[in-house]
Structure 1
Amino acid sequence: MKKIFILFCFVFVNLSFSQKKQDLILKSPNGKIEIKILVNDKISWTISHEKDLILTPSEMSVTLDENVILGKDPVVLNSKKESVDNSFESPFYKKKSIQNKYNQLTLNFKNDFSIEYRAFDDGVAYRFIIKKKKDITVKNEEVILNFDSDYNTLMPYVRDLRNPKDPYISSFESHYENKKISEFAKDTLAFLPFLIDYKNHKKAVFLEANVEDYPGLFVTNNKSKSGFESRFSKYPVKETNGGFNNLNKLITERADYLVKTKGTRNFPWRIIVISENDAELANNDMVQKLSEPSKIKDISWIKPGKVAWDWWNDWNIYNVDFKAGINTQTYKYYIDFASKNKVEYVVLDEGWSVETDIMKHNPNVDLEALIAYAKERNVGIILWSSWMALNENIEGIFENYSKLGIKGFKVDFIDRDDAKMVNSVYTIAEKAAKYKLLLDFHGMYKPTGIQKTYPNILNFEGVKGLENNKWTPNDDVPLYDCTIPFIRMMAGPMDYTPGAMRNATKTEFKPSNSNPVSQGTRCHQLALYTIFEAPLQMMADSPTAYMKEQESTDFIAKIPTTFDETVALDGEVGKFVAITRRKANIWYLGAITNWDSREITIDFSFLEKGKKFQAEIFSDGINADKSAVDYKREIITVDSTTKLKYRLASGGGLAMIIK
């Protein structure tokens, strides 16, 4: 009897210990970042960077069917700490390999779930891991972000009228609104990534990665106005055709859950990237580190490159003896231009087919003749399709067009990131890889790492790119251009579609459909080809415009779309950025500014010591403040000790090729 009593006391003490309040600490390898995890009646974490609080106690939980809340009254069964320091190759990216160094703490809880926390030198992340034998229904995930002060934010709100009754239908194209946390627009949503501006020059960007069989994360203001809380789109039950040109699926009924999914699985990563200076944000690999490795064994057929694009310039070519438009002769002209300038692809945007049935061709476009014509000239053809038309017969469409010799698809009007659409994106990627087809996801939510898992996906929109310039005179484009390298680009490549040869100052800019113009200088546009990450990079202007500006065209054509090394030289969010990237032994450099003219210093210490380099430089002309097309081209000799000052005009830029 005495032995039984002692055993009972031992069990009771252990159970009491496992359920009482616990604080666990995880630090980054360099010791600057600390995660403090509190396990009490709920699970929360606090993040600090040196003496600065990044996140005050913020709860996390997952609600399953039958009101099972993983994170309510949690019981820690055991924990495991480990340190990882390795590297991996990163094809079709801004650098050849990525160093992956972090400390990890895994907490295993009663009720078949774990939470994995990672602390890197440049940020933190966590994810839930479920280990149940049967399938589960996820009703909600609680992601809370609390702050100790009313900091400024750069927040992309959902501002889309495609379906005003459903805020989760969105093109994910928004400028950033600079507001305090407490000023978050009531009863609205914002999508990721977004930025918090702390004191002491520190900033944090909030992202997610490895979103598979799960909806994307939105945020809204919490009741205390001291932070944000998560929102997710519920699973679609009923859909109908609608939206722009009837090319979207609008949701008429949603379920009361997020997703029905496997009972044993990893949830998406919730990420906070922390910087001590802004330039660090312009060269960050966190999403790449936290995404699943490639599922494509042979990637030798995947060829990044530049694309001659038809839509932005409204098929506007001239000085020809045929009527320009969506027809065979016009596309042969685009192919000839691409071939002459060593541009790898031509895209046939909307109009080449019946938009609702892309197996039916526009009779004015002889697709097979164009494929043969392009092949003779070493140019690949990429076809545009709405998601809805492609989704009717993914396998059949891909099989048919791969046999014809098409190299890839630009898939448009996705406009959602609920679990059903996310699964569709993965299915499209898998099927495209099967038929060795490249993908450019346009009208798309921000990338969350699938580009690493399926590297045949070379680009994503989810950005308010140059195409919007045609009709938005009130948008501050240079400001936006100087903001997205620090926020949106951190999530992955951007189908921004640069390359305007008609350029305008702030006072001279006017919207135009057939002769579209960019805000800012010519050199601003040239610099974007180095600054903006896009393994499949568009040349948005018309062949006629490029041939009139052959010197600029030659420069663009020489810039690759993937790189072996990236160095963020300098920058300040929303003001300016300077980035240099290396491919083999050649460096490419781009710098841009907002509407404020400024002087910047380029320090060439990134070059190999003891060697001389030749720099081809395009800088803003002395009259670029009045005529934005004005530029100066020069060739000079530089080395690792060289430091040069350049004046960037209002909305200006600087572009170099150094070899």
Structure 2
Amino acid sequence: MVPLLAFVAPSLDVSSPNGTLVARLSLDGTGQPRLAVNRGGKPVLLSGRLGLDLATGGPLDRGLKVERSTRRSADSQWRPVAGNTKMVRNRYRELTLALREVRGGRRLELVVRAYDEGIAFRYRLPKGMRGYYVREELTEFVPANAPTATALVLPNERTPYEELYQRGPLKEGQLLGFPLMLHRQDGTAVAFTEADLTDFPGLYLRPKDGALRAHLSPRLDGSGLAAKKSGPFSTPWRVVMVGDPKRLLESNLVLNLNPPTVLKDTSWIRPGKTVFPWWNGYNTGDSGIEPGQTTEYHKWCIDFAARRGFPYHSIDGLDNIAWYGGRIVPYDGGPLTKGLPGLDLEEIVRYAKSKGVRIRLWMASAAAKAQMDVAYPYYEKLGIEGVMVDFFDRDDQETVNLVRRIVAKAAKHHLTITLHNLYKPTGLQRTYPNLLAFEAARNLEFDKWDDKGITPEHELDVAFVRGLAGPIDFHAGSFRNVLQKDFKPIDKAPMTIGTRARQLARYVVYFDPMNMVADSPAVYEASPAGLSFLAQVPTTWDETRVLAGEVGKYLVVARRKGKVWYVGGMTDSRSRTVKVPLPFLKGRYGLESWSDTSGAPTGLAITKGLAGKTLVLRMREAGGAVARLTPLSRSR
């Protein structure tokens, strides 16, 4: 019998570059590794256990001793292809702890990185076994001081991450999706997510006895396992972001934890905005164009895109029939290289090219899995710009691997890609920058069928919490704007809760490199106030600053493209006036703003003038405001 004291080892700390955050690794008397996190000398996470449950040899979490520890630090910069900043700084300190079982001899490494805005760690299984069968992860996070939460509570692991966020104390047994945000009494946020999800299942948390216990999405092959791995491997990074929630929104931590791009040439990747008729139900209003999945209809949309300055048009489905034939879900075999009768894909692409517009194509994940080896080379030859792949609804190991194969195949054939009905972003877009946008949120499509609709509070929860993981594809651009009391779900020509100014502000507050212009061309042309702004606002940025906000209540974000600044604000169901300083403006700037009016929610107050040192955003209930700040020459 090995005495308990034989396992005890001195704790090892790794601190963030600015010294504010400290992660502490230790072994308790049973040889169990544990992790605690402090901020400014105060506990954020109390000591919680670490480990993996393996089918061969059982749990690897006790009876361990330290073989060695190594340290390193890094401070570098890299340029994203489609980012919310022009350059990303990657600065951290790292501690690696090599452990070995005293009896069984199995080895486990813990790699911990400390950034100024968070802590990340991963498990590494070194050489020594032919393969590893992982049953479960044994990580426990133990929050200090019983914080409240803004949580995505999910029914099970087969999910598109489209539930409403719940606020308040966590309850035992809940299945919590990422990102998860805890709110401390001092105003600090503690947010959990994961990064570099590669050949491994997605991670969830379950509250139990004051701790948040890890749970891996199980394989669906009946094996009782979560992952089958051949040879050495590393798990994804487990990420704990800590700080002012506004500062966390400026972070690129999830991206930094992913490998650099594998693409040698990225010049063909051109973010922008796409006309997206599925959301509005192919509505044509009084245009005289027959709505439907026809060549004529799509040419009408292309004409609108060309006239109004939108670079892309998307072909999707209608009434549960995909553009390539057969049901949207479940997929039943329609060919991805040919349109329905009356929809001539090659003619549409030819016509779009003549107008300076490029075509994007939607498809179900099952269709992509079955046909991408044939379809994607054909799309490249035809001149298709990119694809949206939809209806994954899982994050088990097989699905995670399918996502990477689809994204890599798209990159090989110079196709950009957006992903819907899928788990949260984990930073894959750094490695494959042709991956531009993700859904993973209850969004404005629910206004087509949900009685309550998408509320202003939910939209702000999405911005603060879901936004920590990466880009948010939200079916943006609705110009049929109503107040909560007047809302009702409509499948075709849907309405949205909130003002016109709020819809404009979303293009600044949310980050989405392939954003949508999802309402009908007929609606835009009939009520064009703000339409010019949609065409002008960028989708990628050189700098991002979060100026003001409170989770679930309001948010003001400033983003810069070149020398021009855009400021967007959104509020909850209460009217709000927010004054934000503009210290980043150097010199004289012209101001153009789009604000709420006291009349109909579709009304816009458009003003022009000179920018001062402070910007005042006046937002009515479910409202918003947006401004463009342009430098003036000295002569002006």
TM-score (norm 1): 0.90
Report the counterpart of residue 651 of structure 1 in structure 2. 622
Structure 2 distance, partners of 1:18, 1:329, is: 78
1:353 alignment partner, one of 324, 328, 339: 324
Aligned residues of 2:454 and 2:496 also touching (Cα < 8 A): no
Report the counterpart of residue 4 of structure 1 in structure 2. none
The aligned runs of 1:49-60 (5 Å cut-off) are 49-60=39-50
Deviation by residue 1:415-438 (Cα, 9 ceiling, x = unmatched): 100000000000011111111111
The Cα of 1:475 is off from its aligned counterpart by: 4.5
Q: Figure out how many residues of one structure are paired with residues of the other and give that number.
A: 610
The aligned runs of 1:165-564 (5 Å cut-off) are 167-181=156-170, 183-184=171-172, 186=173, 188-222=174-208, 224=209, 226-237=210-221, 254-275=222-243, 277-350=244-317, 351-355=322-326, 356=332, 357-359=334-336, 360-475=338-453, 477-564=455-542
Are 1:616 and 2:611 matched, yes or no?
no
RMSD: 1.7
User: Aligned partner of 1:330: which letter?
Assistant: Y
Deviation by residue 1:514-536 (Cα, 9 ceiling, x = unmatched): 22111111111000011111110
The Cα of 1:389 is off from its aligned counterpart by: 1.3
* Change over 3 Å in CA distance of 1:402–1:526 after alignment to 2: same
1:142 alignment partner, one of 125, 138, 141: 138
Deviation by residue 1:160-210 (Cα, 9 ceiling, x = unmatched): xxxxxxx221111011101213x34x3x41211011011111111101000
Structure 2 distance, partners of 1:221, 1:105, is: 28
Deviation by residue 1:90-129 (Cα, 9 ceiling, x = unmatched): 2201001111222211111223331111111111111011
The aligned runs of 1:550-629 (5 Å cut-off) are 550-607=528-585, 609=586, 611-623=587-599, 627-629=600-602
The Cα of 1:644 is off from its aligned counterpart by: 3.1
The Cα of 1:407 is off from its aligned counterpart by: 1.3
Deviation by residue 1:241-265 (Cα, 9 ceiling, x = unmatched): xxxxxxxxxxxxx321112123222
- Identical amino acids, percent of aligned pairs: 30
SS at match of 2:335: strand
Report the counterpart of residue 95 of structure 1 in structure 2. 85
The Cα of 1:476 is off from its aligned counterpart by: 5.3
Structure 2 distance, partners of 1:501, 1:148, is: 45
More displaced 10-residue stretch of structure 1: 57-66 or 422-431: 57-66
Structure 1 distance, partners of 2:383, 2:144, is: 57
Report the counterpart of residue 128 of structure 1 in structure 2. 123
Structure 2 distance, partners of 1:20, 1:512, is: 63
Deviation by residue 1:446-491 (Cα, 9 ceiling, x = unmatched): 1111111111111111011111122223245210111222211111
Aligned residues of 2:56 and 2:133 also touching (Cα < 8 A): no
TM-score (norm 2): 0.93
Aligned residues of 1:569 and 1:579 also touching (Cα < 8 A): yes
User: Aligned partner of 1:270: which letter?
Assistant: R
Structure 2 distance, partners of 1:59, 1:16, is: 17
Structure 1 distance, partners of 2:428, 2:546, is: 24
Q: Which runs of 5+ in 2 are unaligned?
A: 101-105, 327-331, 631-636
Structure 2 distance, partners of 1:595, 1:190, is: 26
Q: Which runs of 5+ in 1 are unaligned?
A: 1-12, 160-166, 238-253
Structure 2 distance, partners of 1:179, 1:282, is: 21
Deviation by residue 1:213-272 (Cα, 9 ceiling, x = unmatched): 0000112221x1x122111122222xxxxxxxxxxxxxxxx3211121232222100011
Aligned residues of 1:94 and 1:566 also touching (Cα < 8 A): yes
Structure 2 distance, partners of 1:20, 1:178, is: 40
The aligned runs of 1:60-79 (5 Å cut-off) are 60-79=50-69
Aligned residues of 1:234 and 1:256 also touching (Cα < 8 A): yes
* Change over 3 Å in CA distance of 1:637–1:358 after alignment to 2: farther
1:39 alignment partner, one of 2, 27, 30: 27
Aligned residues of 2:277 and 2:315 also touching (Cα < 8 A): yes
The Cα of 1:18 is off from its aligned counterpart by: 7.2
User: Aligned partner of 1:559: which letter?
Assistant: V
